[in-house]
Structure 1
Amino acid sequence: MEPTDKKYIVYIVMFFHGIAALFAWNMLINSDSYFVDYKLNVSNNSSETLKTYRKNFLSYLGIASKAPNILFQFINMFLSSNYKSLSKRIWSTLLFQALVFIVITGLAFADSSQWPEIFFWITMLLAFIVNIANGIFQCCVYGIAAKLPVQYTNAVTMGFNLSGVIAAIFLIISLSIAPTPKVSAVYFFSVAVIYLLLCFMNELFIRKNKFYTFYMTKNAQIGDQNIDIVMKTIASRDSNQNDSKQMDIIISDKHQQTLSGYQLYLHVFYQIWPQLLTIIVIYFVTFSIFPSLQANIRPLNQLISDKYFVPVFCFLIFPLFKTIGNSLAEWLPKPSPKFLIVYSLLRLIFIPFFLFCNFFPNDRHLPVLIGNDILYILGAILMSLTSGYLSSLAIMYCPMLVEPRYASIAGMMASFTILFGILLGLNFSLVYPIIINL
């Protein structure tokens, strides 16, 4: 009899791991004001290079973060998908990320006013290093979740987006209680260290859970049983046409088990490529807009203090409503997998919408057509909801469209394409300041 997930422990851990999968990224981008307005805003250094670093900080940070992330996710796909190997990579990369954030926290105490450009490159290097570990971690988490029932993959995806909500809430709290930007940064980055260490302990704990170990070994046992069935069927084969058809199916199943190397990955890719393309389009649109475009949209109607406008209406609204969109994927009617690409392409309309908001108001030639903050906020909510809803469906469909024993590979491919779409979007965001000055 299959064990149950008592008290939803495994689900909760997968949810926590989903939060950790984007926690490093969210903690860094939410610190945009600390880096741009404090560490890099040096009165005795107004070089054009430093101005460029400040203006495009989030785009540079995104590229430095996602380039190694996607590279090492790609490499990780070809390593062992055995759950013990995946688990080992998960806990070791969590520990490594915590150590890097200890260094980032320490740098908050350093007086970098005499070397802001060096500080910028140190920050980029640390972002590069921490996202090597994060890329491996993220890919392994989706690989583990794909071995579990499908709702566990969505638990990871919901945590994936909720990490931004948590980071934004801690940012707002830090801004409210800290007397200086330096103290705020120390509080903020310390949260990252504590949370990553908590997930490290969770991973060591979950490996002894009966429900978890049952599903981690289930597919391998099914594979062995299929081989036994093939041998027995061969021994008892008769002329019955129905038995012959059944035999062909079993032999075909056994043949697919022998796939290895590039044939295995091509076999999985062929079955899920439309979903992978959908994921790329969704994340390209989303991350060409968030965070670099939205973080540079300035308020017009004084709804709240300017100090909190970007933290609330960019860094908080996006992950909050993206998480709601993830949840809706489990409750609303699910469109057919083949139609998801159509819905994802419709979201391209969000790009001109946000460009005509109050984006870089003091450095643009194009007119601001969206002259009301309420309209901007409604657009931000809709963009986030559709991103969460469609991405959850595409990611859940991937392991469902392949044989159970290949679900882990399909899950890791989905994770890889998420990062590929994000990287494309972040690189394209560098074009937006040029477009508004045409």
Structure 2
Amino acid sequence: MLQPASFTSRIGGYTPTFLTSDMSTLSEYSIQDFYKYYIDKGNRARAAEHATRPSLKQFSEAFKGCWQQLVSVFLVFFVTLAVFPAVLAGTTPNGKGEPWNSAIPRELYPGITVFLNFNLMAAIGSTTANFVQFPGPKLLIYPVAARLLFIPYFMLCNYNVEDRIMPVWFKNEWFFILGNVLMAFTSGYFSSLAMMYAPRVVQSSYAKTAGMAGALFLITGIMCGVAFVPVITAMVNNIG
């Protein structure tokens, strides 16, 4: 049987041999023509990629051409993330001190009415945008801006019933469920339209920059929406 000391010494003896062999192999590759060719090709590709990155001026020109679509992207994701999932998951079918009055069990209620509902309808909305593009690029911002009403709408449902001071206007759970259906569908639909329109409404030379700007406004909308959740909770708990 191989003893530990013997095993260690053998490994120590093999290691320099392996390293020497590897270094020799790399040295041989480095002087071969095909190695130099592909290394140079990779360097040129990286240099070209760096050269095609949009400048601040290009970004500014792209923004001028598609600012409505970029603002639409921001607003869609701001509204969506302001209420989903935190506000929606914190909404119940009953008021404070009332018994559970939904046919859906308490432990399944958020999963069905919030997450399943939202993901399904958002997917349907995104798919619908592939077949129906309405409204057009110039009018899209108006229904997108109207989605801001979803924020006070869900604030007036049974959100945070234990601590809220703000009165509840929409007590029936179907107001909440159907509101989530409409919010989720328009989230998927309008966000897809805005991202599709942005590269189309600018000059072809700015299309790539417009797409990158759309991604930037998408991320910004998500971050601002998430950051707005505590503001919603504070208003619900302090405005009566």
Q: Does the alignment reach a TM-score above 0.5?
A: yes
Q: Which has the higher helix share?
A: 1
Residue 139 of structure 2 is aligned with which of 339, 342, 365? 339
Residue 201 of structure 2 is aligned with which of 367, 392, 401? 401
Corresponding residue for residue 285 of structure 1: 79
**Alpha-carbon distance, 1:357 to partner:** 1.0
Residue 228 of structure 2 is aligned with which of 387, 410, 428? 428
**Structure 2 counterpart of 1:382, one-letter code:** L
Q: 1:259 to 1:279 in 2, by over 3 A?
A: closer
Cα distance in 1 for partners of 2:56, 2:130 equals: 34
Q: 1:310 to 1:268 in 2, by over 3 A?
A: same
Superposed CA RMSD in Å reads 2.2
Cα distance in 1 for partners of 2:63, 2:72 equals: 13
Cα distance in 2 for partners of 1:261, 1:396 equals: 22
Q: Does 1:262 align with 2:47?
A: no
Cα distance in 2 for partners of 1:333, 1:315 equals: 26
**What is the SS of the residue equivalent to 2:223?**
helix
Corresponding residue for residue 318 of structure 1: 118
**Structure 2 counterpart of 1:360, one-letter code:** N
**Alpha-carbon distance, 1:333 to partner:** 4.5
Q: 1:359 to 1:411 in 2, by over 3 A?
A: same
**Structure 2 counterpart of 1:270, one-letter code:** K
Moved over 4 A (4+): none
Residues 333-352 of structure 1: per-residue CA shift (max 9 Å, x gap) = 52221111111111111111
Structure 2: segments with no counterpart, 5+ residues: 1-44, 95-100
Contact 1:279 1:417 in 2 (8 A): yes
**Alpha-carbon distance, 1:374 to partner:** 1.6
Cα distance in 2 for partners of 1:385, 1:407 equals: 27
**What is the SS of the residue equivalent to 1:435?**
helix
Contact 2:59 2:213 in 1 (8 A): no
Residues 386-412 of structure 1: per-residue CA shift (max 9 Å, x gap) = 111111111001111233343322212
Residue 387 of structure 1 is aligned with which of 167, 187, 190? 187
**What is the SS of the residue equivalent to 1:293?**
helix
**Structure 2 counterpart of 1:366, one-letter code:** M
Contact 2:66 2:201 in 1 (8 A): yes
**Alpha-carbon distance, 1:383 to partner:** 0.7
**Structure 1 counterpart of 2:87, one-letter code:** L
Residues 149-177 of structure 1: per-residue CA shift (max 9 Å, x gap) = xxxxxxxxxxxxxxxxxxxxxxxxxxxxx
| Count of paired positions | 185
Corresponding residue for residue 296 of structure 1: 90
Cα distance in 1 for partners of 2:133, 2:222 equals: 27
Q: 1:259 to 1:319 in 2, by over 3 A?
A: closer
**Alpha-carbon distance, 1:427 to partner:** 1.0
TM-score normalized by structure 2? 0.71
Q: 1:404 to 1:373 in 2, by over 3 A?
A: same
Cα distance in 2 for partners of 1:414, 1:302 equals: 41
**Alpha-carbon distance, 1:322 to partner:** 1.0
Q: 1:260 to 1:352 in 2, by over 3 A?
A: closer
Structure 1: segments with no counterpart, 5+ residues: 1-83, 86-219, 221-257
- Aligned-residue sequence identity (percent) comes to 36
**Structure 2 counterpart of 1:430, one-letter code:** P
